[in-house]
Amino acid sequence: MTPFGRTFFLNIAKIVTYALLTVTCLVTLTPFFWMICAAFKTKEDFFACTFLPHGDGLFGIAWSQLTFENFVRIFTELDFSNSILNSFFLASTTAVLSTITAAMGGYALAKFNFKGKDFITSLVFAAIIIPTPLLIAPSYQLLYQIDLLDTYWGLLLPAVAPAFGVFLFRQAMLNSVSTNLLESARMDGCGEIQTFFTIVLPLVRPMIGAYLLIVFLGTWNNFISPQIVLQDADKFPLSVAMSGLQTTYRSEYGMISAGTFISIAPVVFLFMLLQKEFITGLTSGAVKN
Amino acid sequence: MNKKGTTAPWAPFFFLAPFLVTFAVFTVYPLVLSVWLTAHQTFGPGYGRYVGFGNFLNMLADANFWIALRNTTIFALTTTAIEMPLALLLAILMNQQWLRGKIYFRLLIFSPALVGSVFVGIMSAIVFQKRTGMLNQVLHYLFNFNPDFPWLSTYLMPAMIVASIWMWTGFNMIYFLAALQNVDNDLLDAASMDGANTWQRFWHITLPSIRPVAGYVTLISLISGFQVFELPYLMLSRAGAGPENRGLTVVMYLYKSGFNIGDLGYASAIGWALALILIMLSIVYRRTLRDEQQ
């Protein structure tokens, strides 16, 4: 036997794997860490040191030089708390409305036989590949025609017709809602709407969780629609407000960092809570087909 | 009152109604409108002048359009070509049975994809600054890299590509990982019984069985690459499109034409040009998928 047996090579492979993954994590996290540091630094310290200011404190860092000044300034000089509320309102309302319409539509296409079903199903499939940029200019014209520019309705209503969501829920209903169960519910005299809410929806609960989160994140991070539709700064969500902050406070790196930190913290937190559902929902469409 | 046990005839239409109505108004009608718009020059919404094929002819003669298309193509192809192998490699590393802390690695590596392109763009505008930005400082510390390397002017495209790789590799990795977990273990076991080594098993079993997902992820990556807008737009802090339009992308040009200049007609023409490219990509993808299945 050579001294370099199978275990030896497996151990090398393990060390290399852990090393590569750790380096990847470091590369991924460093910009976040740097930005959080910048949010808590004074302007002088931002230029003086890469991460945290050196000093006599714990770990050789001058903790006492850190400041909340940047956070105070974005909340006092700008209406930042208003933007946070706007983002929460838009993202959660869109998520709920879109989930309801998508689940209802997906249910109809998966579990009913009716005239025009094949046509609507292929319409949904075709609609998935319509590129969003194509709709930017005509949607603006449409919102102008129906007088919904600079209103939340102009953002909410277009987001309520998600072909992709109908497609996802159709797949989920086909997989996890049994037709026998629906038939016996109807035998028992359960009405259509009651059946949908008390029997069908609980069966696709994982999909509902994943879809709510996907739409919430998508709306929270959406920039182009609110940027085009909204004009009144009081209505701006964080994405548009931050882009404005970036232009007006060009060299206030601390303030920009603090604002970005606040803008991304809620979504990261939400994702950590619902990581499993999110990834299942995200990959379900791709892997099964 | 309908007969017990049968479906009510109105039910499917009732459930589809909210989707169909909003879909008709906010997707089908804008599509029709965009065709109408391509034949008009507008000065903001509501004031149009018929120009026939003028918008398309102008577009073909417009140097900025071609610059935008070239930049976008380079961006989409380069990011996809780099992200795909990198994501597959990470997924293979993550798929080892003995690996511990898998969910933490996954969460950390995936995290940039949660942050929208807007916020990545805003972060990048600071991170890529010369001298004060993180990237040059860290690279200077580690490799004595030039601290004044001009990412945000001369090397705008490489900076956009670096930011995109940072953002999307973990996202793509999730798909590859899900595909790897679906590979038939019995088949792999049988192959090692027959004396196939790791490399042979990977090449003949794993790779063919993840191909459909790899194709799908590549398509998605190309499609989203061709639609890139927020990242360069915010990286440049609205400072136009960078020197010599180096950061100008197709959607950015569409946005500028439609909303800075106010010509929704020209913007629609650009939109259709982009749609044509994306639809062609999808057709090529479907053809390859079908040919493979036969």
Give the model confidence (pLDDT) of A139-180 as tens digits: 999 999 999 999 999 999 998 878 999 999 999 899 888 888
Task: Compute the mean pLDDT over every residue in chain B, rounded to the nearest whole number.
Answer: 89
A77 Cβ contact list (under 8 Å, min separation 6): none
Mean pLDDT of A179-191: 84
A3 touches chain B (CB under 8 A): no
Q: Minimal Cα–Cα distance from A36 to chain B, Å? A: 11
Q: Is residue B206 part of a domain?
A: yes
Name chain A contacts of B19, Cβ cutoff 8 Å: 101-102, 104-105, 161, 166
pLDDT in tens, A91-141: 999 999 999 999 999 999 999 998 889 999 999 988 888 888 999 999 999
The amino acid that residue A58 corresponds to is: L
- Chain A contacts in chain B segment 53-82 (CB below 8 A): none
Higher pLDDT among residues A250 and A208, named by residue:
A208
Cβ-nearest to B118 among A38, A136, A223: A223
CB B95 within 8 Å of CB B177: yes
Q: Residue A65 CB: number of other CB atoms within 10 A?
A: 18
pLDDT, residue B1, reads: 39
Number of C-beta neighbours around residue B57 at 10 A: 12
Q: What is the CATH number of the domain that holds B90?
A: 1.10.3720.10
Q: What is the pLDDT of residues A189-217, one digit of tens each?
A: 888 888 898 889 988 888 898 899 889 99
Q: Is residue B4 part of a domain?
A: no
Please indicate whether, in this complex, the C-beta atoms of B114 and A267 are within 8 angstroms of each other. Answer: yes
Supply the pTM of this predicted model: 0.90
What residue ranges do the domains of chain A occupy? Answer: 6-67, 73-288
Contact status of A115 with chain B (Cβ, < 8 Å): no
**CB of B116 less than 8 A from some CB of A:** yes
Q: Do B118 and A243 touch (CB under 8 A)?
A: yes
- Within an 8 Å CB–CB cutoff, is residue B144 touching chain A? no
Which residues 169-228 on chain A approach chain B with CB closer than 8 angstroms?
183, 186-187, 189, 192-193, 196, 217, 220-224, 228
- Token pair 């956009």 in the structure block, residue: B160
Would you place residue A232 in the very low, low, confident or very high pLDDT band (cuts 50, 70, 90)? very high
What band does A289 get if pLDDT is binned at 50, 70 and 90?
very low
* pLDDT reading at A50 higher than 90: no
CA angle (B156, B160, B162) in 5-degree steps: 115
Of B4, B13, B111, the CB nearest to A28: B111
Domain interval for residue B265: 52-114+162-293
Residue A282 — pLDDT band, cuts 50, 70, 90?
Answer: low
Q: Which of A77, A247, A92, A105 is nearest to A170 (CA)?
A: A105
pLDDT at B74 over 90: yes
Q: Is B49 helix (H, G, I), strand (E, B) or coil?
A: strand
State the distance between the two ends of chain A, measured CA to CA, in whole angstroms. Answer: 48
| Residue-averaged pLDDT of chain A | 87
Q: How many distinct structural domains can be found in chain B?
A: 1
Residue B234 is assigned to a structural domain of this protein: yes
Mean pLDDT, residues B38-54 taken together: 87
- Please determine, for residue B253, whether its predicted confidence score (pLDDT) is greater than 80: yes
Asked if residue B119 belongs to a domain, the reply is no
Assign domain A73-288 to its CATH superfamily. Answer: MetI-like (1.10.3720.10)
Residue B8 forms part of a structural domain: no
Give me the residue from B109, B264, B271 closest to A25, CB to CB.
B109
Across the interface, whether the CB atoms of A282 and B114 are under 8 A apart is answered: no
Q: Do A127 and B217 touch (CB under 8 A)?
A: no
| pLDDT exceeds cutoff 70 at B239 | no
Q: A22 pLDDT band (50/70/90 cuts)?
A: very high
Of the ranges B108-117, B193-202, B257-266, which one carries the lowest mean pLDDT score?
Answer: B193-202
φ/ψ region of A62 (left if φ > 0, alpha if ψ in -120 to 50, else beta) reads: beta
Within a domain: B267: yes
pLDDT given for residue A286 in this prediction = 54
Percentage of chain A beyond pLDDT 70 is: 94
